[in-house]
């Protein structure tokens, strides 16, 4: 489990540190404060252990670029990842784990490798696990060295990072159909997804099947009197299927969830959160959730209390002139007190 994260020179953040991380971490703040950047920093660091996004069929480094409009990916739009385009400074992501291990990741601009995320092993020694490439900044030397892998002591942390996924509104039903659902079926985890859909969205749902449509097979929900393509369901139900399908396959890693309240009625949001938090407890998942919803904050704090999960709320405020972010931590009791006096935690910036 990650206990703290420090970010430097990434996106709109020159520097940001979030400490005291726990089982479930809810991140709030104004637009442009850096909430999503925290998720992306963990996702970026995870590409050191596993460069491929298992849900999208892309390299993680390319998807980080594409999320903000860079269609060509890393090779064409990597400048957009650097704070104020200060390309001479490395992007840095430092993760401290509960094991007391601290991993410092760097993304140097001037390297010719296609896997640009390196672990700092020493003052002038960086290493990429996936490609067995060593980078020496002082001499600008880049070379393969398979002996480093055998001496690396961070395998537990590497396994945690290897499984990291980013769940956002850009994840499509097609992604689930082509890369996720067969694995869900192999383990009969489809029953969990159907249970979620039946409980909140479609009371008559019986199963989820592949249905032939237009020369291909698509996911569809069988009802008592018809079968409806998942893409034809309401936005909330469709996103719930996508989110739940991905979650069922995970264990012992971090799940980065961006604004899950989008398109969700309060009842649907409660059902999706309960589903995710129950799996977090059963599968040792650490959740990082960004939101603009006070309702989501209330639900997470209450459900975590019921399920015995640790939960903290982090408010990020970024100085737009310096890019330095201040992070304030609220325990569940603090949130409860604020709301009892009629104060919305999302408005902490006015205090």
Are residues 270 and 232 part of one domain?
no
Q: What is the pLDDT of residue 280?
A: 98
Are residues 311 and 211 part of one domain?
no
- Domain for residue 324, yes or no? yes
Are residues 237 and 343 part of one domain?
no
Pairing of the two strands 91-97 and 24-29:
unpaired
- Domain for residue 108, yes or no? yes
Whether pLDDT at 272 is above 60: yes
Largest CA distance in the chain: 69
Q: Which of 248, 271, 289 is the last residue of a domain?
A: 248
Tokens of 297: 């904050």
- Domain for residue 153, yes or no? yes
Are residues 258 and 243 part of one domain?
no
pLDDT (mean) for 307-328: 95
- Domain for residue 192, yes or no? yes
Are residues 346 and 213 part of one domain?
no
- Domain for residue 211, yes or no? yes
Whether pLDDT at 20 is above 70: yes
How far apart (Å, rounded) are the C-alpha atoms in residues 138 and 248?
45
Contact 10, 81 (CB under 8 A): yes
Q: Which of 192, 219, 248 is the last residue of a domain?
A: 248
Tokens of 172: 């499509």
Q: Which of 198, 222, 248 is the last residue of a domain?
A: 248
pLDDT (mean) for 336-343: 66
Are residues 230 and 345 part of one domain?
no
Whether pLDDT at 337 is above 70: no
- Domain for residue 176, yes or no? no
Whether pLDDT at 118 is above 90: yes
How far apart (Å, rounded) are the C-alpha atoms in residues 299 and 283?
20
Tally of domains in the chain:
2
Q: What is the pLDDT of residue 68?
A: 82
Q: What percent of the chain has pLDDT over 70?
A: 96
Are residues 198 and 96 part of one domain?
no
47 against 115, higher pLDDT: 47
**Nearest-CA neighbor of 326 among 301, 351, 292, 296?**
351
Contact 200, 240 (CB under 8 A): yes
Q: What is the pLDDT of residue 340?
A: 66
Q: What is the pLDDT of residues 182-239, one digit of tens each?
A: 999 999 999 999 999 999 999 999 999 999 998 899 999 999 999 999 999 989 999 9
How far apart (Å, rounded) are the C-alpha atoms in residues 6 and 25?
15
The count of other CB atoms within 10 Å of the CB of residue 329 is 15
Are residues 6 and 129 part of one domain?
yes
Query: What is the domain-level CATH number for residue 240?
Result: 3.40.50.300
Whether pLDDT at 130 is above 90: no
**Nearest-CA neighbor of 181 among 215, 213, 221, 214?**
221
Whether pLDDT at 351 is above 60: no
Are residues 193 and 99 part of one domain?
no
Taking CB atoms within 8 Å and a gap of at least 24, the contacts of 62-71 are 63/166, 64/40, 67/40, 67/168, 67/170, 68/11
Domain extent for 326: 2-170+254-350
Query: In the beta sheet, which residues pair with residue 210?
Result: 219
Are residues 299 and 238 part of one domain?
no
Q: What is the pLDDT of residues 236-267, one digit of tens each?
A: 999 999 999 999 999 999 999 999 998 888 89
- Domain for residue 323, yes or no? yes
Q: What is the pLDDT of residue 76?
A: 86
**Region at 132 (left for phi over 0; alpha for psi -120 to 50; beta for the rest):** left
Taking the model in full, what pTM does it have? 0.94
Q: What is the pLDDT of residues 284-313, one digit of tens each?
A: 999 999 999 888 998 999 999 999 999 999
Q: What is the pLDDT of residue 137?
A: 83
pLDDT (mean) for 134-149: 86
Contact 182, 247 (CB under 8 A): no
Are residues 234 and 284 part of one domain?
no
- Domain for residue 175, yes or no? no
pLDDT (mean) for 136-162: 89
Are residues 121 and 43 part of one domain?
yes
Whether pLDDT at 341 is above 70: no
């Amino acid at each position: 489990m990650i206990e703290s994260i420090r970010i430097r020179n990434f996106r709109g953040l020159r520097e940001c540190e979030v400490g005291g991380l726990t089982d479930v971490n809810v991140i709030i703040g104004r637009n442009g404060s850096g909430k999503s950047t925290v998720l992306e920093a963990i996702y970026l660091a995870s590409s050191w252990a596993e460069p491929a996004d298992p849900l999208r069929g892309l390299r993680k480094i390319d998807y980080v670029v594409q999320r903000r409009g860079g269609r060509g990916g890393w090779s064409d739009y990597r400048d957009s990842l650097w704070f104020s385009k200060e390309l001479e400074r490395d992007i840095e992501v430092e993760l401290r784990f509960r094991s007391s291990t601290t991993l410092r990741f760097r993304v140097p601009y001037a390297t010719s490798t296609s896997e640009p995320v390196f672990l700092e092993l020493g003052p002038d020694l960086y290493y990429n696990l996936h490609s067995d490439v060593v980078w020496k900044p002082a001499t600008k030397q880049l070379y393969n060295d398979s002996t480093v892998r055998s001496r690396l002591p961070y395998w537990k942390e590497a396994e945690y990072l290897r499984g990291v996924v980013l769940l956002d509104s850009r994840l499509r039903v097609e992604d689930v159909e082509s890369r996720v659902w067969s694995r869900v079926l192999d383990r009969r985890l489809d029953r969990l997804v159907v249970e979620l859909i039946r409980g909140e969205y479609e009371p008559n749902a019986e199963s989820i099947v592949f249905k032939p449509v237009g020369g291909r097979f698509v996911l569809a929900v069988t009802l008592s009197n018809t079968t409806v393509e998942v893409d034809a369901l309401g936005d909330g139900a469709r996103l719930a299927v996508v989110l739940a399908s991905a979650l069922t396959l995970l264990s012992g890693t971090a799940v980065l969830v961006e604004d899950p309240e989008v398109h969700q009625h309060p009842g649907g949001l409660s059902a999706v959160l309960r589903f995710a938090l129950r799996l977090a407890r059963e599968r040792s998942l650490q959740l990082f959730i960004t939101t603009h919803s006070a309702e989501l904050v209330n639900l997470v704090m209450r459900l975590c209390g019921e399920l015995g999960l640790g939960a903290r709320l982090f408010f990020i405020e970024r100085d737009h002139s310096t890019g330095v972010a201040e992070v304030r931590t609220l325990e569940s009791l603090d949130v409860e007190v604020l709301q009892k006096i009629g104060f919305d935690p999302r408005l902490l910036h006015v205090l």
